[in-house]
């Protein structure tokens, strides 16, 4: 198989020919047709996450078809199209797993971070953490749903019935969750980098009530704000934008340090919380919603060999929507 391999912190990915992996008990092998590129992949490349296993194949928004089954797999069959997400395995026995909080498992494995991922022609996945995708929709368009969509959905559920919703960072996750929010009847307020007219234009096209720079206040107080950009300075900005009792949800796995801020912008029962990973139930729920809401991802596809160039473009903020690699 061919794979883009990360050999160590701060290195570029290298295209390598390696032996085809063999699925073990409870595992499947997926022949990959598309893998989305996520900001978390940059955190892996930059060694901003702990305990990275080197060498590692990044990528955790995998779409493909099963071409080998390990012993004991009965819920999937050869040729099925599946999606493989960020959360790749949980222990099943820790207090979190046994209390329906497997996203906080004490001994998890993460696709493209602590087990090899989807910047390759093939990947091994835990059959239990692989979502059936059926035959509707094309592979490239579905790939961003496997992380940007799932973490967007989890963060949207956490804000409850908030009707005026701020989205800070209108990229892959933002443009998906905005569509779900609009389908649910919420008003969307999109915050982008200063001068990012392309992202603001996309937000307006997707039905945002307002779009503007993240250093400005919205025209009305928000019920909740979700931060997808990994910028700690956005936390006090979002606190200033939400009403009394409002939520600010940090939806990334990594964020720069949050600067100090005056207590009065937190007072009046405003809340700050984070979203961590996902559960399989999140995936089941969201994929049903995505079909019902007719979610359309904005994607640009690239050959697998261009992974380094794509990651550099993501770092610069060059994409509108999501980038996807095709082996």
DSSP string, 256-304: PPPPP--GGGTTTT-EEEE--S--HHHHHHHHHHHHHTT----EEEEEG
Q: Is the predicted pLDDT of residue 151 greater than 90, yes or no?
A: yes
Residue 155, pLDDT above cutoff 90: yes
Share of the chain above pLDDT 90, in %: 95
Check whether 29 has a pLDDT greater than 90.
yes
Q: 53 or 73: whose pLDDT is higher?
A: 73
Which residues lie closer than 8 Å to 36 by C-beta, 6 or more apart?
59, 61, 143, 144, 146, 147, 148, 172, 299, 322, 323, 324, 325
**Burial class, 22, CB count within 10 angstroms (exposed 0-12 / middle 13-18 / buried 19+):** exposed
Which of 150, 108, 152, 113 is CA-nearest to residue 251? Answer: 152
pLDDT of residue 315: 92
* Best CA proximity match to 8, nearest among 40, 44, 42: 44
pLDDT at 49 over 90: yes
| pLDDT above 90 for 74 | yes
Domains of the chain with bracketed CATH: 2-135+297-326 (3.90.180.10), 149-274 (3.40.50.720)
Would the pTM of this model clear 0.85, i.e. be above it?
yes
The pLDDT of residue 300: 94
| pLDDT value of residue 320 | 86
Over 90: is that where the pLDDT of 150 sits?
Answer: yes
Residue range 48-68: average pLDDT? 95
Grouping H, G, I as helix, E, B as strand and the rest as coil, residue 115 is: strand
| Model confidence band, residue 298 (pLDDT cutoffs 50, 70, 90) | very high
The stretch 213-226 carries a mean pLDDT of 97
Nearest alpha carbon to residue 144 among 263, 287, 11 = 287
């Amino acid at each position: 198989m061919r794979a883009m391999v990360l050999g160590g912190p701060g290195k570029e990915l290298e295209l390598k020919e390696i032996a085809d992996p063999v699925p073990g008990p409870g595992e499947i092998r997926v022949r990959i047709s598309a893998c989305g590129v996520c900001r978390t992949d940059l955190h892996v490349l930059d060694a901003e996450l702990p305990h990275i296993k080197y060498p590692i194949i990044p990528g955790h928004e995998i779409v493909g078809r099963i071409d080998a089954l390990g012993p004991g797999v009965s819920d999937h069959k050869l040729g099925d199209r599946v999606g493989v997400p960020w959360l790749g395995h949980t222990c099943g026995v820790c207090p979190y797993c046994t209390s329906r909080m497997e996203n906080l498992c004490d001994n998890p494995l993460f696709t493209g971070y602590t087990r090899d991922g989807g910047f390759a022609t093939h990947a091994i996945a835990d059959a239990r953490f692989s979502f059936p995708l059926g035959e509707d929709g094309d592979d490239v368009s579905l790939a961003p749903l496997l992380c940007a969509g799932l973490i967007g959905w989890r963060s949207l559920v956490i804000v409850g019935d908030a009707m005026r919703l701020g989205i800070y960072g209108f990229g892959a996750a933002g443009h998906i969750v905005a569509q779900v929010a609009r389908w649910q009847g919420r008003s969307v307020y999109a915050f982008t980098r200063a001068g990012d007219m392309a992202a603001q234009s996309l937000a307006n096209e997707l039905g945002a009530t307002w779009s503007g720079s993240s250093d400005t206040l919205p025209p009305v107080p928000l019920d909740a704000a979700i931060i997808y950009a990994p910028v700690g300075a956005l936390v006090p900005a979002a606190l200033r934008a939400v009403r009394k009792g409002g939520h600010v949800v940090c939806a990334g796995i990594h964020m720069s340090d949050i600067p100090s801020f005056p207590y009065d912008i937190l007072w009046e029962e405003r809340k700050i919380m984070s979203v961590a990973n996902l559960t399989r139930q999140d995936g089941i729920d969201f994929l049903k919603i995505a079909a019902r809401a007719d979610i359309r991802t904005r994607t640009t596809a690239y050959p697998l060999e261009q992974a380094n160039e794509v990651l550099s473009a993501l770092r610069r903020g060059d994409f509108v929507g999501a980038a996807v690699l095709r082996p």
